[in-house]
Amino acid sequence: MDVNQIIAEFKTLSPEQKAEVLKAILEDDSWIPESFRQGMEDIEKGRTVSMEIALNQKPPARVR
């Protein structure tokens, strides 16, 4: 079964069945890359810098 077949079949489901499928997908987050998880954690904890600063200023020296 290819992705187009899956999508077509998903569209035929009832709203309750669609909700069940989406819940199963979201509960099994093994398909989410670790780098994405880390990025989301960085955003949540305020460990970000604006794109303007990132592109135009030299980064500060690392503290060891």
Domain region containing 35: 3-56
For residue 63, is it within any domain? no
For residue 61, is it within any domain? no
Q: How many Å apart are CA 13 and CA 9, to the nearest integer?
A: 7
What pLDDT, on a 0 to 100 scale, did the predictor assign at position 40?
A: 93
Give the pLDDT mean for 48-58: 92
For residue 43, is it within any domain? yes
Number of domains into which the chain is organized: 1
Tell me if residue 49 falls in helix, strand or coil. Answer: coil
The first and second tokens of residue 19, run together, are: 């909700």
Q: How many Å apart are CA 16 and CA 41, to the nearest integer?
A: 31
For residue 19, is it within any domain? yes
For residue 51, is it within any domain? yes
For residue 18, is it within any domain? yes
What pLDDT, on a 0 to 100 scale, did the predictor assign at position 10?
A: 96
Q: Is the pTM of this model over 0.95?
A: no
For residue 64, is it within any domain? no
Q: Could you report the per-residue pLDDT of 10-50, keeping only the tens digit for each?
A: 999 999 999 999 999 889 988 889 999 999 999 999 999 99
Give the pLDDT mean for 50-64: 88
